Chains A and B, each alone.
Chain A
Amino acid sequence: MRVPKYVVILTGVVLALLALLWLVPDVYALFLALTREIGVAGGPIVRQFTLDNLIAALGADGLGRYLVNSLVVAFSTVVLVTVCASLCAYAISRLSFRGRTVLYASLLLTLMVPAAALAIPFFVINKALHLFNNYLGLILPYSALGIPFALVILKNFFDTFPRELEEAAIVDGAGVFRIFLTIVLPNTLSSLTVVVIWTFLNAWNEFFLALLFMTDDSMKTISLAPLSFQGMFQSQEGSLMAILVLISIPTLLLYFALQRQLEKGVQGGALKG
């Protein structure tokens, strides 16, 4: 299709403008984090470059603890979701058992369930199991809510994975579990990466349940940090912005490092699902 030259030029201009517009909040946050106001009575507000905010943020009490808590919760959720979903997806895709269709359909329905609608039962369950201020109090619900998405991605992959390899292994006398571990899983890496990234991001950024179940300062996750520090840095918006910038760095790094897989996940998973 030949595209007129003016369309190409116009496109470039429009895209550039949109990208700039999209960057405004990021740049604004960075700007506030890296500058401070120098008061001139009555005059215009002038801001001057400083690293003080970042230093204050890095030294903020408990930030390291929040980070560790989030790492523990997010990694455990990733492991649990990956193990449960890949086993279940393989069984649904390859093995025959009673209730297969029902199981898949009901797990898919979970994709739509809003976490807010389950907050009260989760609260009651965690209370009964004494899981408040306990990593498991977040890991288990996050996993239950995260498995359906992983299941869709992995089942779609298994459905298109050629059976010949597995059939050859059966002739060699290998059991189902060994086939799954040694032949299927190593070929699933690209889909597994998608599952791992998305599960990690969701667990890392989750806020509602963390707010309910992690009431002790020593157990709070990183998504609760901004609210805790909001009070501390009440009048110093620069330091608060520095905190926000700091806690965004891990997910942004993850995104830049695994951009292609992440985008493929958005496109492949959603289109087929």
Chain B
Amino acid sequence: MSLEIVPPAAQEQSTPLSSRVKSRKRRGKRQHTIAYLFITPATLLFLVFIVYSIAYNLYNSFQGQTFYGTTVFVGWRHFSSMLQDPVFWLALRNNGVWFVVCVGIQTVLGYTLALLLDLKVLGGRFVKTMIFAPVVLSPVVVGLVWGHIYDPYQGLISGIWHASPNWLGSPQLVLLSVATVNIWQWTGFSMLLCLAAVQDIPRELREAATIDGAGYWTTARYVLLPLLTPATATLLILGLIGSLQTFTLVFVMTRGGPANASQVLGTYIYQKSFVEGNLGYGSTLSVVLLVITLVLTVLQLAFFNRERRGA
């Protein structure tokens, strides 16, 4: 991956060989200068808003502080109170449940839809469009519309099923109710990824299997699925990142309630930092969220890389 393009100055074409060595060195230097100019804007934004921010969170997680007040070093106090904070554990568990439910169902639905769409039935284009459309909608809009659908008094569901439970009011149901909305919004995304992966498999391979006497379902199970591991890995990793980023839907639909039953780390950080004004504790939660994200992503990547090499 070494450099191929070296911009020679126009007059260098006629310079004698003896001075070429020197000018190549100079060209290398100029090349570096240009490269640094090219990367400066992106790097600056990255340094200020990402690197500095993470460093600030680390620092601030050891500070006790009021909203506009002064700060005091408090050591590990935030961390130890976090470990004893039942809402923190609940939020963490909710993030986990969210990941398993959303990614599990979206992956199954995504592949089902992809395999069905791959048969090229009439109206497939329309189905694809309709199922993907929610992806471009604002989660605020989606949350409010679904909030109305779930409404226990005049909602769509209670209008059809009069004895239906209180979807957003029941601590047992609320997380799954909101996760369902997330699945509704993002299945189209999974579907497109799955479809690309399915259509990437050469047709000859599937036809060869059919000639060998394998039926449609056998082909799908033993020829298609194993080849879909990379796409599945992508789905899981994107799903993991998405789950840990969950904020808007929960905030709009329940604010983490009732009684923290639908609290996730994102909404809990908001609650602690900007409602209760405990920025130090908020930073501690942020640091933990960052570490969890990083560790899980790296683990997943390592796992799938090994799988791929092993296969």
Chain A residues with CB under 8 Å of chain B are: 1-4, 7-8, 11-12, 14-16, 18-19, 22-26, 28-29, 32, 80, 83-85, 87-88, 90-92, 94-98, 103, 106-107, 109-125, 140-141, 143-145, 147, 151, 163, 166-167, 170, 173-177, 179-180, 201, 204-205, 207-208, 212, 222-224, 226-227, 230, 237, 240-241, 244, 247-248, 251-252, 254-256, 259, 262-263, 266-268, 270-271, 273
Nearest A residue to B217 via CB reads: A7
Decide: B241 and A226 in contact? CB cutoff 8 A.
no
| Residues in chain A near residue B113, CB distance under 8 A | 15, 18
Decide: A270 and B3 in contact? CB cutoff 8 A.
no
Nearest A residue to B243 via CB reads: A114
Decide: B297 and A240 in contact? CB cutoff 8 A.
no
Nearest B residue to A262 via CB reads: B136
8 new A-B pairs (CB below 8 Å) besides A11-B119, A110-B46, A173-B13?
A: A22-B131, A85-B42, A112-B294, A112-B297, A121-B52, A179-B5, A204-B138, A205-B136
What's the least CB distance linking A14 to chain B, in Å? 6
B272-297 contacts to A, CB under 8 A, are 273-274, 279, 282-283, 286-287, 289-290, 293-294, 297
- Pick from A8, A95, A140, A174: contact of B34, CB below 8 A: A95
| Residues in chain A near residue B176, CB distance under 8 A | none
Decide: A113 and B39 in contact? CB cutoff 8 A.
no
| Residues in chain B near residue A94, CB distance under 8 A | 3-5
- Pick from B35, B130, B154, B196: contact of A22, CB below 8 A: B130
Chain B residues with CB under 8 Å of chain A are: 2-10, 13, 31-32, 34-36, 38-39, 41-43, 45-46, 48-50, 52-54, 56-57, 60, 113, 116-117, 119, 121-124, 126-127, 129-134, 136-142, 144-146, 148-149, 154, 156, 184, 189, 192-193, 195-197, 200, 203, 206-207, 209-210, 216, 219, 230-231, 234, 238, 241, 244-245, 247-248, 251-252, 265-267, 269-270, 273-274, 279, 282-283, 286-287, 289-290, 293-294, 297
